[in-house]
Structure 1
Amino acid sequence: MSHTAHIPSHRKPRRSASKLALRAGVAGGVLGTIAVAGAAGPANAEPVTETIEMPTLGSLDAGNLASAVAASAETSQQEALDQSLQSLERAALEKAAKDARKAKAEADRKAEAERAEKARLKAEQERKEAEEAAERASRSEERAQLSTASTTATNSSDDGGSSSSDGGSGASDDDSRTQAPSGSAASIVDFARAQVGDSYVTGGTGPNSWDCSGLVQAAYRAAGIDLPRISYEQSSMGSSVSLDSLQPGDILYWGSRSGSYHVAVYVGGGKYVGAQNSSTGVVERSLDWDPPSGAVRIL
Protein backbone atom coordinates (compact mmCIF):
# COMPACT_ATOMS: atom_id res chain seq x y z
CA MET A 1 0.00 0.00 0.00
CA SER A 2 1.30 3.34 -1.02
CA HIS A 3 1.72 5.86 1.71
CA THR A 4 1.01 9.38 0.56
CA ALA A 5 0.68 12.53 2.51
CA HIS A 6 -1.29 15.56 1.47
CA ILE A 7 -1.28 18.80 3.40
CA PRO A 8 -4.16 21.04 2.40
CA SER A 9 -3.56 24.76 2.01
CA HIS A 10 -5.63 27.04 4.21
CA ARG A 11 -5.31 30.72 3.38
CA LYS A 12 -6.58 33.42 5.67
CA PRO A 13 -6.28 37.19 5.46
CA ARG A 14 -2.95 38.41 6.64
CA ARG A 15 -3.32 40.48 9.72
CA SER A 16 0.17 41.48 10.67
CA ALA A 17 3.84 40.81 9.97
CA SER A 18 4.30 39.00 13.29
CA LYS A 19 1.46 36.57 12.58
CA LEU A 20 2.86 35.92 9.09
CA ALA A 21 6.22 34.95 10.54
CA LEU A 22 4.54 32.70 13.09
CA ARG A 23 2.59 30.86 10.39
CA ALA A 24 5.71 30.42 8.29
CA GLY A 25 7.46 28.88 11.26
CA VAL A 26 4.61 26.44 11.88
CA ALA A 27 4.55 25.38 8.22
CA GLY A 28 8.30 24.79 8.31
CA GLY A 29 7.91 22.59 11.40
CA VAL A 30 5.23 20.46 9.75
CA LEU A 31 7.36 19.93 6.63
CA GLY A 32 10.30 18.86 8.77
CA THR A 33 8.19 16.29 10.60
CA ILE A 34 6.92 14.76 7.33
CA ALA A 35 10.43 14.52 5.98
CA VAL A 36 11.59 12.65 9.10
CA ALA A 37 8.60 10.27 8.94
CA GLY A 38 9.30 9.45 5.31
CA ALA A 39 12.88 8.60 6.04
CA ALA A 40 11.88 6.27 8.87
CA GLY A 41 9.33 4.27 6.77
CA PRO A 42 9.83 0.87 5.04
CA ALA A 43 12.69 0.63 2.58
CA ASN A 44 10.43 -0.55 -0.12
CA ALA A 45 7.91 2.24 0.32
CA GLU A 46 7.05 4.03 -2.79
CA PRO A 47 8.33 7.55 -3.04
CA VAL A 48 5.97 10.41 -2.40
CA THR A 49 4.87 11.52 -5.76
CA GLU A 50 2.34 14.23 -4.80
CA THR A 51 3.51 17.80 -4.53
CA ILE A 52 2.99 19.59 -1.23
CA GLU A 53 1.11 22.79 -1.94
CA MET A 54 2.43 25.69 0.15
CA PRO A 55 0.97 29.12 0.19
CA THR A 56 3.00 31.87 -1.44
CA LEU A 57 2.53 34.15 1.50
CA GLY A 58 5.89 35.83 1.26
CA SER A 59 5.66 37.43 -2.18
CA LEU A 60 1.92 38.17 -2.18
CA ASP A 61 1.45 39.54 1.33
CA ALA A 62 4.71 41.53 1.31
CA GLY A 63 3.56 43.42 -1.79
CA ASN A 64 0.17 44.14 -0.25
CA LEU A 65 1.86 45.22 2.95
CA ALA A 66 4.17 47.63 1.10
CA SER A 67 1.21 49.08 -0.79
CA ALA A 68 -0.77 49.50 2.42
CA VAL A 69 2.15 51.16 4.17
CA ALA A 70 2.71 53.52 1.23
CA ALA A 71 -1.00 54.39 1.10
CA SER A 72 -1.06 54.99 4.84
CA ALA A 73 2.01 57.20 4.62
CA GLU A 74 0.50 59.17 1.74
CA THR A 75 -2.75 59.62 3.67
CA SER A 76 -0.87 60.79 6.75
CA GLN A 77 1.18 63.21 4.66
CA GLN A 78 -1.96 64.62 3.01
CA GLU A 79 -3.65 65.07 6.39
CA ALA A 80 -0.56 66.86 7.73
CA LEU A 81 -0.53 69.11 4.64
CA ASP A 82 -4.22 69.89 5.04
CA GLN A 83 -3.71 70.78 8.70
CA SER A 84 -0.75 72.99 7.78
CA LEU A 85 -2.81 74.81 5.14
CA GLN A 86 -5.66 75.30 7.59
CA SER A 87 -3.21 76.72 10.15
CA LEU A 88 -1.79 79.12 7.55
CA GLU A 89 -5.28 80.23 6.53
CA ARG A 90 -6.25 80.90 10.15
CA ALA A 91 -3.03 82.84 10.74
CA ALA A 92 -3.61 84.91 7.58
CA LEU A 93 -7.18 85.71 8.60
CA GLU A 94 -6.10 86.70 12.10
CA LYS A 95 -3.33 88.94 10.71
CA ALA A 96 -5.71 90.58 8.22
CA ALA A 97 -8.22 91.27 11.00
CA LYS A 98 -5.48 92.68 13.23
CA ASP A 99 -4.18 94.92 10.42
CA ALA A 100 -7.73 96.12 9.69
CA ARG A 101 -8.29 97.00 13.36
CA LYS A 102 -4.96 98.82 13.48
CA ALA A 103 -5.72 100.78 10.29
CA LYS A 104 -9.14 101.79 11.60
CA ALA A 105 -7.67 102.93 14.91
CA GLU A 106 -5.07 105.01 13.07
CA ALA A 107 -7.71 106.56 10.82
CA ASP A 108 -9.86 107.41 13.86
CA ARG A 109 -6.85 108.96 15.59
CA LYS A 110 -6.00 111.13 12.57
CA ALA A 111 -9.61 112.25 12.20
CA GLU A 112 -9.76 113.18 15.88
CA ALA A 113 -6.47 115.09 15.59
CA GLU A 114 -7.79 117.01 12.57
CA ARG A 115 -10.99 117.91 14.41
CA ALA A 116 -8.98 119.06 17.42
CA GLU A 117 -6.69 121.18 15.21
CA LYS A 118 -9.64 122.82 13.47
CA ALA A 119 -11.22 123.58 16.83
CA ARG A 120 -7.94 125.03 18.08
CA LEU A 121 -7.52 127.26 15.01
CA LYS A 122 -11.09 128.46 15.30
CA ALA A 123 -10.65 129.24 18.99
CA GLU A 124 -7.38 131.06 18.25
CA GLN A 125 -9.04 133.16 15.55
CA GLU A 126 -11.92 134.03 17.85
CA ARG A 127 -9.45 134.96 20.60
CA LYS A 128 -7.51 137.26 18.25
CA GLU A 129 -10.70 138.94 17.07
CA ALA A 130 -11.81 139.44 20.66
CA GLU A 131 -8.43 140.92 21.61
CA GLU A 132 -8.50 143.30 18.65
CA ALA A 133 -12.02 144.41 19.51
CA ALA A 134 -11.03 144.93 23.15
CA GLU A 135 -7.94 146.83 22.05
CA ARG A 136 -9.97 149.18 19.86
CA ALA A 137 -12.48 149.68 22.65
CA SER A 138 -9.69 150.46 25.11
CA ARG A 139 -8.14 152.98 22.74
CA SER A 140 -11.50 154.67 22.20
CA GLU A 141 -12.05 154.85 25.94
CA GLU A 142 -8.61 156.33 26.59
CA ARG A 143 -9.14 158.81 23.76
CA ALA A 144 -12.45 159.88 25.29
CA GLN A 145 -10.81 160.31 28.68
CA LEU A 146 -8.01 162.40 27.19
CA SER A 147 -10.49 164.53 25.27
CA THR A 148 -12.53 165.11 28.42
CA ALA A 149 -9.44 166.04 30.42
CA SER A 150 -8.22 168.37 27.66
CA THR A 151 -11.62 170.08 27.39
CA THR A 152 -11.80 170.57 31.16
CA ALA A 153 -8.32 172.09 31.27
CA THR A 154 -9.07 174.40 28.37
CA ASN A 155 -12.34 175.62 29.86
CA SER A 156 -10.70 176.33 33.22
CA SER A 157 -7.93 178.45 31.67
CA ASP A 158 -10.02 180.26 29.07
CA ASP A 159 -12.30 183.09 30.29
CA GLY A 160 -13.78 183.75 26.88
CA GLY A 161 -10.75 185.40 25.26
CA SER A 162 -10.29 182.70 22.69
CA SER A 163 -11.66 185.01 20.02
CA SER A 164 -8.54 187.15 20.36
CA SER A 165 -6.51 184.37 18.82
CA ASP A 166 -8.55 184.20 15.64
CA GLY A 167 -6.14 186.52 13.85
CA GLY A 168 -3.77 184.35 15.30
CA SER A 169 -0.61 183.52 16.69
CA GLY A 170 -1.05 179.75 16.04
CA ALA A 171 -2.09 177.49 13.21
CA SER A 172 -5.59 176.01 13.09
CA ASP A 173 -6.36 172.25 13.26
CA ASP A 174 -6.93 172.14 9.52
CA ASP A 175 -3.60 173.82 8.82
CA SER A 176 -1.69 171.43 11.08
CA ARG A 177 -3.34 168.40 9.52
CA THR A 178 -2.85 169.36 5.89
CA GLN A 179 0.64 170.86 5.90
CA ALA A 180 3.10 169.05 3.65
CA PRO A 181 6.12 167.39 5.28
CA SER A 182 9.62 168.54 4.47
CA GLY A 183 13.19 167.55 5.24
CA SER A 184 13.54 164.61 7.64
CA ALA A 185 9.78 164.47 8.16
CA ALA A 186 9.29 163.94 4.41
CA SER A 187 11.76 161.02 4.45
CA ILE A 188 9.95 159.42 7.39
CA VAL A 189 6.51 159.85 5.82
CA ASP A 190 7.62 158.65 2.36
CA PHE A 191 9.21 155.51 3.80
CA ALA A 192 6.18 154.69 5.95
CA ARG A 193 3.74 155.12 3.05
CA ALA A 194 5.94 152.98 0.79
CA GLN A 195 5.33 150.00 3.13
CA VAL A 196 1.52 150.17 2.98
CA GLY A 197 0.25 146.72 1.98
CA ASP A 198 3.10 144.79 3.62
CA SER A 199 2.19 142.04 6.05
CA TYR A 200 2.17 142.25 9.83
CA VAL A 201 4.43 139.80 11.67
CA THR A 202 5.23 139.97 15.37
CA GLY A 203 8.88 140.99 15.69
CA GLY A 204 9.03 141.91 11.98
CA THR A 205 11.62 144.51 10.93
CA GLY A 206 11.21 144.38 7.14
CA PRO A 207 11.73 144.51 4.35
CA ASN A 208 8.28 143.06 3.53
CA SER A 209 6.82 142.34 6.96
CA TRP A 210 6.68 144.51 10.06
CA ASP A 211 5.33 144.96 13.52
CA CYS A 212 4.35 148.46 14.72
CA SER A 213 7.62 149.50 16.37
CA GLY A 214 9.73 147.83 13.67
CA LEU A 215 8.08 150.01 11.03
CA VAL A 216 8.50 153.24 13.05
CA GLN A 217 12.14 152.43 13.74
CA ALA A 218 12.85 151.77 10.04
CA ALA A 219 11.02 154.96 8.96
CA TYR A 220 13.15 157.10 11.28
CA ARG A 221 16.29 155.28 10.19
CA ALA A 222 15.49 156.40 6.63
CA ALA A 223 15.88 159.98 7.94
CA GLY A 224 19.14 159.13 9.72
CA ILE A 225 17.61 158.92 13.20
CA ASP A 226 18.10 155.87 15.44
CA LEU A 227 15.19 154.86 17.69
CA PRO A 228 14.84 152.09 20.27
CA ARG A 229 13.18 148.89 19.08
CA ILE A 230 10.31 148.67 21.61
CA SER A 231 7.13 150.74 21.31
CA TYR A 232 7.04 152.07 24.88
CA GLU A 233 10.69 153.15 24.57
CA GLN A 234 9.92 155.02 21.33
CA SER A 235 6.93 156.84 22.85
CA SER A 236 9.07 157.85 25.84
CA MET A 237 11.47 159.83 23.62
CA GLY A 238 11.20 163.41 22.39
CA SER A 239 8.56 165.78 23.73
CA SER A 240 4.85 165.23 24.17
CA VAL A 241 2.57 167.08 21.74
CA SER A 242 -1.17 167.60 21.61
CA LEU A 243 -3.16 165.61 19.11
CA ASP A 244 -4.53 168.96 17.91
CA SER A 245 -1.01 170.13 16.99
CA LEU A 246 0.33 167.16 15.12
CA GLN A 247 2.98 167.49 12.42
CA PRO A 248 4.03 164.91 9.80
CA GLY A 249 6.63 162.58 11.26
CA ASP A 250 5.28 162.68 14.81
CA ILE A 251 5.01 159.32 16.58
CA LEU A 252 1.52 158.36 17.69
CA TYR A 253 1.08 155.95 20.57
CA TRP A 254 -1.73 153.95 22.17
CA GLY A 255 -1.76 153.38 25.91
CA SER A 256 0.31 155.48 28.31
CA ARG A 257 3.40 157.30 27.09
CA SER A 258 5.77 155.17 29.15
CA GLY A 259 3.72 152.01 28.69
CA SER A 260 2.43 152.16 25.12
CA TYR A 261 1.47 148.93 23.37
CA HIS A 262 1.19 150.33 19.82
CA VAL A 263 2.86 153.09 17.78
CA ALA A 264 2.47 154.57 14.29
CA VAL A 265 3.71 157.48 12.15
CA TYR A 266 1.54 160.56 11.58
CA VAL A 267 1.73 161.38 7.85
CA GLY A 268 -0.41 164.57 7.75
CA GLY A 269 -3.93 165.23 6.58
CA GLY A 270 -5.38 163.66 9.71
CA LYS A 271 -3.93 160.22 8.82
CA TYR A 272 -1.31 157.84 10.07
CA VAL A 273 0.55 154.79 8.76
CA GLY A 274 1.02 151.80 11.04
CA ALA A 275 1.52 148.06 11.11
CA GLN A 276 -1.79 147.27 12.78
CA ASN A 277 -2.26 143.49 13.06
CA SER A 278 -2.08 140.24 11.11
CA SER A 279 -5.51 140.85 9.57
CA THR A 280 -4.83 144.30 8.11
CA GLY A 281 -1.03 144.46 7.76
CA VAL A 282 0.48 147.90 7.15
CA VAL A 283 -2.30 150.42 6.45
CA GLU A 284 -2.93 154.17 6.18
CA ARG A 285 -5.89 155.16 8.32
CA SER A 286 -7.69 158.23 9.54
CA LEU A 287 -7.15 159.21 13.16
CA ASP A 288 -10.89 158.76 13.66
CA TRP A 289 -10.66 155.07 12.69
CA ASP A 290 -8.65 154.26 15.82
CA PRO A 291 -7.85 157.45 17.78
CA PRO A 292 -4.39 157.36 19.43
CA SER A 293 -3.79 158.10 23.11
CA GLY A 294 -1.10 160.71 22.48
CA ALA A 295 1.89 161.76 20.38
CA VAL A 296 5.56 162.66 20.73
CA ARG A 297 7.80 164.76 18.51
CA ILE A 298 11.44 163.85 17.99
CA LEU A 299 12.37 166.04 15.00
Structure 2
Amino acid sequence: MSPNALIPSHRKPRRPSASSRALRAGVTGGFLTLAVTGATVPANAAEKPVSETQEMPTITTALATSAARSADTAEQVAFNYERQALQDSAFSQAAKAAEKHKSEAVKKAKAAAKKKAEEARKAEEAAQARASRSSERSTLSAPSSSTATGTGSTATLVSFLKAQLGKAYVLGSTGPSSYDCSGLTQAAFSQIGIDLPRVSQDQSTQGTQVGLDNLQVGDILYWGSAGSAYHVGVYVGDGNFIGAQNSSTGIVERPLDYDMPTGAVRVL
Protein backbone atom coordinates (compact mmCIF):
# COMPACT_ATOMS: atom_id res chain seq x y z
CA MET A 1 0.00 0.00 0.00
CA SER A 2 1.29 3.35 -0.88
CA PRO A 3 2.05 5.74 1.89
CA ASN A 4 0.00 8.46 0.27
CA ALA A 5 -3.07 6.31 -0.06
CA LEU A 6 -4.75 7.68 3.06
CA ILE A 7 -3.90 11.40 2.52
CA PRO A 8 -7.01 13.30 1.49
CA SER A 9 -6.78 15.26 -1.70
CA HIS A 10 -6.70 19.06 -1.50
CA ARG A 11 -7.61 19.52 -5.20
CA LYS A 12 -10.62 21.76 -5.76
CA PRO A 13 -13.59 20.26 -7.50
CA ARG A 14 -13.63 20.79 -11.21
CA ARG A 15 -16.06 23.45 -12.42
CA PRO A 16 -18.66 22.24 -14.80
CA SER A 17 -18.06 23.22 -18.41
CA ALA A 18 -21.67 24.04 -19.15
CA SER A 19 -22.47 27.73 -19.51
CA SER A 20 -24.47 29.51 -16.85
CA ARG A 21 -26.60 32.60 -17.11
CA ALA A 22 -27.65 35.23 -14.58
CA LEU A 23 -30.77 37.29 -14.82
CA ARG A 24 -30.83 40.64 -13.21
CA ALA A 25 -33.75 42.95 -13.15
CA GLY A 26 -34.03 46.46 -11.80
CA VAL A 27 -36.02 49.58 -12.15
CA THR A 28 -33.89 52.67 -12.70
CA GLY A 29 -35.17 56.23 -13.40
CA GLY A 30 -38.67 55.11 -14.27
CA PHE A 31 -37.62 52.31 -16.74
CA LEU A 32 -37.70 48.53 -16.36
CA THR A 33 -34.29 47.07 -17.26
CA LEU A 34 -33.69 43.46 -18.14
CA ALA A 35 -30.08 42.31 -18.47
CA VAL A 36 -28.93 38.86 -19.50
CA THR A 37 -25.18 38.16 -19.39
CA GLY A 38 -23.61 35.01 -20.66
CA ALA A 39 -20.90 33.30 -18.62
CA THR A 40 -17.45 32.84 -19.98
CA VAL A 41 -17.08 29.78 -22.08
CA PRO A 42 -14.00 28.16 -23.42
CA ALA A 43 -12.46 29.66 -26.55
CA ASN A 44 -13.45 26.64 -28.56
CA ALA A 45 -17.11 26.88 -27.60
CA ALA A 46 -19.65 27.43 -30.35
CA GLU A 47 -21.54 30.26 -28.60
CA LYS A 48 -20.17 33.72 -28.01
CA PRO A 49 -20.92 35.98 -25.03
CA VAL A 50 -24.24 37.79 -25.45
CA SER A 51 -25.36 40.93 -23.65
CA GLU A 52 -28.90 42.21 -24.20
CA THR A 53 -30.61 45.27 -22.63
CA GLN A 54 -34.27 46.31 -23.15
CA GLU A 55 -35.87 49.46 -21.71
CA MET A 56 -39.62 50.00 -21.52
CA PRO A 57 -41.26 53.29 -20.53
CA THR A 58 -43.18 53.29 -17.33
CA ILE A 59 -46.46 55.34 -17.46
CA THR A 60 -46.63 57.38 -14.28
CA THR A 61 -49.41 59.53 -12.75
CA ALA A 62 -47.36 62.72 -13.41
CA LEU A 63 -47.08 61.88 -17.10
CA ALA A 64 -50.84 61.29 -17.39
CA THR A 65 -51.60 64.55 -15.55
CA SER A 66 -49.25 66.49 -17.84
CA ALA A 67 -50.95 65.07 -20.92
CA ALA A 68 -54.39 66.01 -19.55
CA ARG A 69 -53.22 69.54 -18.81
CA SER A 70 -51.83 69.89 -22.33
CA ALA A 71 -55.19 68.82 -23.74
CA ASP A 72 -57.02 71.33 -21.51
CA THR A 73 -54.63 74.10 -22.55
CA ALA A 74 -55.11 73.37 -26.24
CA GLU A 75 -58.88 73.38 -25.76
CA GLN A 76 -58.75 76.71 -23.87
CA VAL A 77 -56.60 78.30 -26.61
CA ALA A 78 -59.06 77.13 -29.26
CA PHE A 79 -61.95 78.55 -27.21
CA ASN A 80 -60.16 81.89 -26.81
CA TYR A 81 -59.53 82.13 -30.54
CA GLU A 82 -63.16 81.36 -31.28
CA ARG A 83 -64.40 83.92 -28.74
CA GLN A 84 -62.06 86.60 -30.14
CA ALA A 85 -63.27 85.85 -33.66
CA LEU A 86 -66.89 86.28 -32.53
CA GLN A 87 -66.06 89.56 -30.80
CA ASP A 88 -64.24 90.88 -33.87
CA SER A 89 -67.19 89.93 -36.04
CA ALA A 90 -69.63 91.68 -33.67
CA PHE A 91 -67.49 94.84 -33.59
CA SER A 92 -67.26 94.86 -37.38
CA GLN A 93 -71.02 94.51 -37.76
CA ALA A 94 -71.63 97.28 -35.19
CA ALA A 95 -69.23 99.60 -37.03
CA LYS A 96 -70.95 98.93 -40.34
CA ALA A 97 -74.36 99.57 -38.78
CA ALA A 98 -73.15 102.84 -37.25
CA GLU A 99 -71.73 103.98 -40.59
CA LYS A 100 -75.00 103.14 -42.31
CA HIS A 101 -77.01 105.08 -39.73
CA LYS A 102 -74.66 108.05 -40.09
CA SER A 103 -75.02 108.01 -43.87
CA GLU A 104 -78.80 107.88 -43.57
CA ALA A 105 -78.79 110.77 -41.08
CA VAL A 106 -76.66 112.88 -43.44
CA LYS A 107 -79.02 112.14 -46.31
CA LYS A 108 -82.05 113.08 -44.22
CA ALA A 109 -80.37 116.32 -43.10
CA LYS A 110 -79.53 117.25 -46.69
CA ALA A 111 -83.07 116.47 -47.80
CA ALA A 112 -84.50 118.60 -44.97
CA ALA A 113 -82.18 121.50 -45.82
CA LYS A 114 -83.12 121.24 -49.49
CA LYS A 115 -86.81 121.22 -48.62
CA LYS A 116 -86.40 124.23 -46.35
CA ALA A 117 -84.51 126.15 -49.04
CA GLU A 118 -87.22 125.31 -51.56
CA GLU A 119 -89.92 126.54 -49.19
CA ALA A 120 -87.98 129.76 -48.59
CA ARG A 121 -87.59 130.28 -52.33
CA LYS A 122 -91.31 129.79 -52.91
CA ALA A 123 -92.15 132.18 -50.08
CA GLU A 124 -89.83 134.79 -51.57
CA GLU A 125 -91.38 134.37 -55.00
CA ALA A 126 -94.84 134.75 -53.49
CA ALA A 127 -93.77 137.92 -51.67
CA GLN A 128 -92.33 139.35 -54.87
CA ALA A 129 -95.53 138.52 -56.72
CA ARG A 130 -97.60 140.30 -54.08
CA ALA A 131 -95.28 143.30 -54.21
CA SER A 132 -95.58 143.38 -57.99
CA ARG A 133 -99.37 143.34 -57.85
CA SER A 134 -99.28 146.03 -55.19
CA SER A 135 -97.01 148.13 -57.39
CA GLU A 136 -99.37 147.76 -60.30
CA ARG A 137 -102.30 148.86 -58.17
CA SER A 138 -100.38 151.88 -56.87
CA THR A 139 -99.49 152.90 -60.41
CA LEU A 140 -103.14 152.75 -61.45
CA SER A 141 -104.27 154.69 -58.36
CA ALA A 142 -101.47 157.28 -58.35
CA PRO A 143 -102.63 160.87 -58.81
CA SER A 144 -101.74 162.77 -61.96
CA SER A 145 -98.59 164.89 -62.06
CA SER A 146 -100.49 168.12 -61.74
CA THR A 147 -102.30 166.84 -58.65
CA ALA A 148 -99.29 165.11 -57.12
CA THR A 149 -97.15 168.18 -57.29
CA GLY A 150 -99.88 170.25 -55.73
CA THR A 151 -99.31 171.85 -52.40
CA GLY A 152 -101.72 169.54 -50.58
CA SER A 153 -100.06 166.20 -51.43
CA THR A 154 -96.43 167.20 -50.92
CA ALA A 155 -97.27 169.17 -47.80
CA THR A 156 -98.99 166.15 -46.27
CA LEU A 157 -96.04 163.95 -47.20
CA VAL A 158 -93.42 166.30 -45.78
CA SER A 159 -95.50 167.00 -42.68
CA PHE A 160 -95.73 163.31 -41.90
CA LEU A 161 -91.97 162.81 -42.40
CA LYS A 162 -91.05 165.70 -40.11
CA ALA A 163 -93.40 164.32 -37.44
CA GLN A 164 -91.30 161.12 -37.37
CA LEU A 165 -87.97 162.88 -36.73
CA GLY A 166 -86.21 161.53 -33.65
CA LYS A 167 -87.97 158.17 -33.67
CA ALA A 168 -85.90 155.00 -33.50
CA TYR A 169 -84.50 153.03 -36.39
CA VAL A 170 -85.42 149.35 -36.05
CA LEU A 171 -84.69 146.95 -38.88
CA GLY A 172 -87.91 145.50 -40.25
CA SER A 173 -90.15 147.99 -38.44
CA THR A 174 -92.92 149.92 -40.24
CA GLY A 175 -94.09 152.21 -37.40
CA PRO A 176 -95.61 153.91 -35.74
CA SER A 177 -92.98 154.18 -32.97
CA SER A 178 -90.01 153.02 -35.05
CA TYR A 179 -89.11 152.41 -38.70
CA ASP A 180 -86.43 151.15 -40.99
CA CYS A 181 -85.63 153.19 -44.14
CA SER A 182 -88.10 151.58 -46.55
CA GLY A 183 -90.72 151.23 -43.81
CA LEU A 184 -90.64 155.01 -43.33
CA THR A 185 -91.03 155.86 -47.02
CA GLN A 186 -93.83 153.31 -47.41
CA ALA A 187 -95.70 154.79 -44.40
CA ALA A 188 -95.15 158.35 -45.65
CA PHE A 189 -96.51 157.74 -49.15
CA SER A 190 -99.47 155.78 -47.79
CA GLN A 191 -100.59 159.09 -46.25
CA ILE A 192 -101.26 160.43 -49.75
CA GLY A 193 -102.74 157.24 -51.17
CA ILE A 194 -99.65 155.72 -52.82
CA ASP A 195 -98.92 152.09 -51.95
CA LEU A 196 -95.17 151.52 -52.28
CA PRO A 197 -93.44 148.10 -52.20
CA ARG A 198 -92.00 147.16 -48.82
CA VAL A 199 -88.27 146.92 -49.55
CA SER A 200 -85.67 149.39 -50.84
CA GLN A 201 -84.78 147.31 -53.91
CA ASP A 202 -88.34 147.49 -55.24
CA GLN A 203 -88.91 151.14 -54.24
CA SER A 204 -85.84 152.16 -56.28
CA THR A 205 -87.57 151.05 -59.50
CA GLN A 206 -90.98 152.73 -58.94
CA GLY A 207 -92.20 155.66 -61.04
CA THR A 208 -89.67 157.45 -63.24
CA GLN A 209 -85.91 157.73 -62.81
CA VAL A 210 -84.79 161.40 -62.39
CA GLY A 211 -81.39 163.07 -62.15
CA LEU A 212 -80.08 164.37 -58.85
CA ASP A 213 -79.81 167.82 -60.44
CA ASN A 214 -83.55 167.87 -61.17
CA LEU A 215 -85.05 166.83 -57.83
CA GLN A 216 -88.52 167.80 -56.64
CA VAL A 217 -90.09 167.56 -53.19
CA GLY A 218 -91.35 164.02 -52.65
CA ASP A 219 -88.80 162.28 -54.91
CA ILE A 220 -87.54 159.01 -53.45
CA LEU A 221 -83.75 158.92 -53.11
CA TYR A 222 -81.89 155.61 -53.18
CA TRP A 223 -78.38 154.40 -52.42
CA GLY A 224 -76.95 151.58 -54.51
CA SER A 225 -78.14 150.70 -57.99
CA ALA A 226 -81.75 150.71 -59.16
CA GLY A 227 -83.30 147.35 -58.37
CA SER A 228 -80.67 146.48 -55.79
CA ALA A 229 -80.68 149.57 -53.57
CA TYR A 230 -79.75 149.07 -49.93
CA HIS A 231 -81.15 152.38 -48.54
CA VAL A 232 -83.86 154.95 -49.37
CA GLY A 233 -84.99 158.39 -48.18
CA VAL A 234 -87.31 161.22 -49.32
CA TYR A 235 -86.27 164.60 -50.71
CA VAL A 236 -88.03 167.40 -48.76
CA GLY A 237 -86.60 170.46 -50.55
CA ASP A 238 -83.86 173.02 -49.85
CA GLY A 239 -81.21 170.38 -50.54
CA ASN A 240 -82.32 168.17 -47.65
CA PHE A 241 -83.75 164.67 -47.25
CA ILE A 242 -85.42 162.78 -44.41
CA GLY A 243 -84.70 159.13 -43.77
CA ALA A 244 -84.37 156.44 -41.16
CA GLN A 245 -80.59 156.25 -41.29
CA ASN A 246 -79.43 153.69 -38.74
CA SER A 247 -79.84 152.53 -35.16
CA SER A 248 -77.44 155.20 -33.91
CA THR A 249 -79.07 158.28 -35.47
CA GLY A 250 -82.66 157.09 -35.89
CA ILE A 251 -84.89 159.21 -38.18
CA VAL A 252 -83.11 162.45 -39.13
CA GLU A 253 -83.11 165.27 -41.67
CA ARG A 254 -79.78 165.74 -43.43
CA PRO A 255 -78.36 167.68 -46.39
CA LEU A 256 -77.68 165.68 -49.54
CA ASP A 257 -73.93 166.08 -49.18
CA TYR A 258 -74.14 164.34 -45.80
CA ASP A 259 -74.52 161.11 -47.74
CA MET A 260 -74.97 161.71 -51.46
CA PRO A 261 -77.54 159.30 -52.94
CA THR A 262 -76.95 157.27 -56.09
CA GLY A 263 -80.21 158.10 -57.86
CA ALA A 264 -83.84 159.12 -57.47
CA VAL A 265 -87.31 158.11 -58.70
CA ARG A 266 -90.47 160.21 -58.95
CA VAL A 267 -93.83 158.70 -58.07
CA LEU A 268 -95.77 161.98 -57.52
The answer to whether TM tops 0.5 is no
Which structure would you say has the larger Rg? 2
| TM-score, length of structure 1 as denominator length | 0.39
1 or 2, which has the higher strand percentage? 2
| TM-score, length of structure 2 as denominator length | 0.44
